[in-house]
Structures are given as C-alpha cells and as structure tokens.
Amino acid sequence: MRQLSMAVVPMRASASSPLSSSSGFWSQSRAVLGLGLPLIGSHMAQFGLHVTDTIMLGWYGVTDLAAGALGATVFFAFFTFGTGYANAVMPMVAASAARDDEVEVRRATRMGMWLSILYAVIVLPLFIWSNVILDTLGQEPAVARLGGAYLAIVGFGLAPALLVMVLKSYLAALGRTQVVLWVTVLAVFVNIGLNWIFIFGNLGMTEMGARGAAVASVLVQLFTLGVMLAYAAWLPALRRYALLVRFWRPDWAALRAVNALGLPIGLAMLAETGMFAASAVMMGWLGAQTLAAHSIALEITAMFFMVHMGLSNAATVLVGRARGRRDLPGLRAAARVSIIISMAVAVATMAIYLLLGEHMVGAFLAPDNPERAVIVPLGVTLLWVAAIFQLADGGQAMAMGLLRGIQDTRVPMLIAAVSYWLIGIPAGYALAFLAGLQGVGLWLGLVVGLTVAAVALMLRFWRAVRAGKEAHFALDPARRSF
C-alpha cells in the first residue's frame, strides 16, 4: 500500500496526485485503501475512547456507569452535529489542494475552526445546566444529578474535540492520514491513564467516578489538539499553508461557504444518530432484556461501521481532488472503486455476523450471568438482521461521502431526514408493535430507512455525474468556492 501521508515528497505532489480513469483497478484500489485504512484505524481508535470509558466506569460503579453513559450520549449528539463543519472542510481542502490553491486551503480550514469554536460556545450553557434538562426528561434523580455533573465538565471539551476533527479533516485531505491514526491511538492510551488517575483517585488525586471520566475526556481532547496543532503548524511541508498566521482575522465569505456546506452535513448526521437513539427508546418499551440485547448488537455494528466511515472519508478526499482538477473521468473512477471496496467490506461483515454472532454477543456478558440465556439469542437474532442491512448501511455512508466530495449536501440532508424519520422510524414502530415482531421489527425498520437512503443518495450522485453537470460541481477553476 502506498504511504500517502508520511512519504518524503513535497506536499504539493502528495496532496494532488491524480487518480484518473486511465489508472488500473488495483492502482485505484491502493489509492482508496492508502487513504482509507489509516482513517478506518482512526475511527476505531476514536470508538475505543468510548469503550474504555464504559469499561472503566463499569469497574467503578453502576450509578457512575449509567450517568457516564447518559452524559456521553448527550455529548455525542452535540458533537455529531458540530462535526458537520469538519466534514465540510475535507472536500473543500481536497479540491483546493488539487488546484495548488494554498489560500483557499487556509481559508476553508480556518473558518471551519472558527465555526466549531462558535458552535461550542453557543451550546456550552446547555451542558452547564444539563442537570435541569435531565430531571425534566424523567431520569432517575441520582443518575440525572451525576450525569449533569459529568456534562457540566465535559462540555468544556467540545470545542477542542471539534477543532481536532477539523484538523483531522485538513490533514486527511492533504494525504496525511497516518498522523491522524497514530495521534488518535495515542489518545486512547492517554485516556486510559487519566481515567485510572481521576476515576479511581490514584497518584494522590481525589476519587471522582463519572466526574473523573469527564475531566479525563477534556484533558485528552486538549492533549490531542495540542499535538495536532503542532504537527499542522510547524511541520516544514505544511508551513506554506500558514494555517495559524493571523488566525484571529475573520473571513466572512469563507465562513458563509463552510457553514453552507457543513450545516446540512451536521443535520444529516444528527438525523441518522437520532434514528438509532429513537430505536433505543422504543426498545426500552419492550423490556430490559430486549434493550440490553439491542445495546450489545448496536455496539458491535457501530464498531464495524467505522470501516465504512473510513472508506467514505477516503472517497470524499479522492472525489474532491478530482473535482478540483476538473477531472470528471477520474471522479467516476474514484467513485466506482470506492463503492466496490465498500460493498466487499459489507459482504465480509455479513459473513462475520452470521458465523460469529453468538461469540461476539456472548463476550459482552459474564458466563455466569443468569440472563445470558435470554439476551444472547436476542442479540444474535438482531445481528442477523444487521447482516441484512450491511449493504444498505455501507451504501448510504459511501453515497454521503461521494456527495460531500462534490460539495452537494443540502438535498442529501433532506433525503436523510425523510428516509430515517418519515420512513425508517414509522416502519420500525409498525413492524415492532403493530405487526408484533418486537425487537426484530424495530431493526427491520432500520433496514427500510437505510435502504431508502442508500438508493436515493446513490441515484442522486450518479445522475449528477452522468449528466456531467460541471457547473453544479463548481469545477471551473476561475470560480471561487467562496
């Protein structure tokens, strides 16, 4: 696999190296995987931060685990929406770098950082007074109080967390995906160490439980931001972008452009996350054991979904570069290869769910757990349903990445909202409660919503590409994105 990120070559070449239709399938595949594999690893490492928090709080106590899980869910909802700006930066930087336009690279990245900070400041009061909100939502008083304390701390980590995501998008668009991977992996180990100190009160610190996990999360985000900033600002190959020079100066045209692209992305991501959150609420109506099986199966599918996310990001970068070069044949080639690889991963994942489902679900429960005999079969059944929607889930993720690469986000946002909330959720409710299929019915509703989204988004992308609507993609180098 070609090392796209750490190769000792001028950055100008690595950021804009072409992937044209004349390249062979295997060379195109190497380009996709060269970007995608480190990004997949980065996403999995990011997921590992959540897993380590869950495990270590579980060791500490049930109330702290529940409060931490509740707080993390709320934080993730705000974080997901805010990452829309980071996801907007990726195709904008990729296209500008392909044109060797250093100014546009800097403008898009800076204003993505500005918008991330602004958003974090606006929502910070909701974190500080979150205990009132959790009480209103009818949570257990002890869990609501501790969850509110967790959020009041972790809210201060939202801005650095979003800035890290912008910098990851900036570096990935310039082909420097290896550093994105290794910094995220390092963050997991730092998080484990800080959790050990602050949750359990080691090295002379006060024992803080869930509050300690929140402190650790904020410190990890600040540490990661410091490393990413140092790399992005002072690496010789990246200095020509002058990312932090006169950072305080506003660029209103660029800010509007990033917002116009990023806001719909954030809303689309929130719509998908919200669909799964709503399914969890409805699973709770079916009983604690069904909800437990759902949570385990969802944790497993979320981990495997990180592969699709990494490939989707790689597709965004490669399509964005082709867009910047005004290379429509290369754009088509990058899209085709990305889709083929994504579908191959989906088929492999289906096989894993069908063959190893019982072992994976069983790993989440102690061998002597009296409820194991009920929860494991339920979880395995849900993974069988998850096997059905792998092609749809991978397809919608890839289609979203391709559309972001051509900077088409508003209509995809509407497609996502309709598919998930007007089709997926009602279908799940009807199959679960009206047709009597219960948990399986809810997951079949997810299949319906994801399938509709995948088909509609793919059709939109390929219709636009086949029509060759260059003006729609703003491929004319004489036109500015801002």
Tokens 């559309």 found at: 403
| Residues 470 and 454: beta-carbon distance below 8 Å | no
pLDDT at residue 395, rounded to an integer: 94
Residues 102 and 93: their CA atoms lie apart, in Å, by: 9
Write the CB contacts of 152 (distance below 8 Å, at least 6 apart in sequence).
127, 128, 129, 130, 131
- b/e string for 158-169 if b means 16 or more Cβ within 10 A? bbbbbbbbbbbb
- Among 304, 321, 307, 345, smallest CA distance to 402 is for 321
Per-residue pLDDT of the chain (482 residues; tens, 9 = 90+): 333 332 323 333 344 444 444 456 778 888 888 889 899 999 899 888 888 888 888 888 878 887 887 788 889 889 999 999 999 999 999 999 999 999 999 999 999 999 999 999 999 999 998 887 777 766 678 878 888 999 999 999 999 999 999 999 999 999 898 999 999 999 999 999 999 999 999 998 999 999 999 999 999 999 999 999 999 988 888 988 888 888 888 899 999 999 999 999 999 999 988 888 788 778 878 887 887 888 888 888 988 999 999 999 999 999 999 988 888 888 999 999 999 999 999 999 999 999 999 999 888 777 887 888 888 899 999 999 999 889 899 999 999 999 999 999 999 999 999 999 999 999 999 999 999 899 899 999 999 999 999 999 999 999 988 876 544 444 443 333 32
pLDDT at residue 13, rounded to an integer: 34
Write the CB contacts of 137 (distance below 8 Å, at least 6 apart in sequence).
144
Radius of gyration of the chain (CA): 22
Residues 257 and 482: their CA atoms lie apart, in Å, by: 6
Write the CB contacts of 80 (distance below 8 Å, at least 6 apart in sequence).
266, 269, 270, 273
pTM tops 0.75: yes
Residues 91 and 233: their CA atoms lie apart, in Å, by: 20
Residues 102 and 91: their CA atoms lie apart, in Å, by: 14
| Residues 224 and 183: beta-carbon distance below 8 Å | yes
Write the CB contacts of 402 (distance below 8 Å, at least 6 apart in sequence).
315, 316, 319, 335, 338, 339, 461
The distance between the two most distant Cα atoms of the chain, rounded to a whole number of Å, is 68
Neighbours of 478 (CB within 10 A): 4
pLDDT at residue 74, rounded to an integer: 85
Write the CB contacts of 235 (distance below 8 Å, at least 6 apart in sequence).
none
| Residues 481 and 92: beta-carbon distance below 8 Å | yes
- Among 121, 113, 118, 122, smallest CA distance to 168 is for 113
- CA-to-CA dists, residue 421 to 291, 408, 434, 458, angstroms: 20, 21, 18, 19
Element (H, E) at 313: helix 288-324
Residues 445 and 169: their CA atoms lie apart, in Å, by: 32
The token duo for 472 is 């729609």
Residues 397 and 378: their CA atoms lie apart, in Å, by: 27
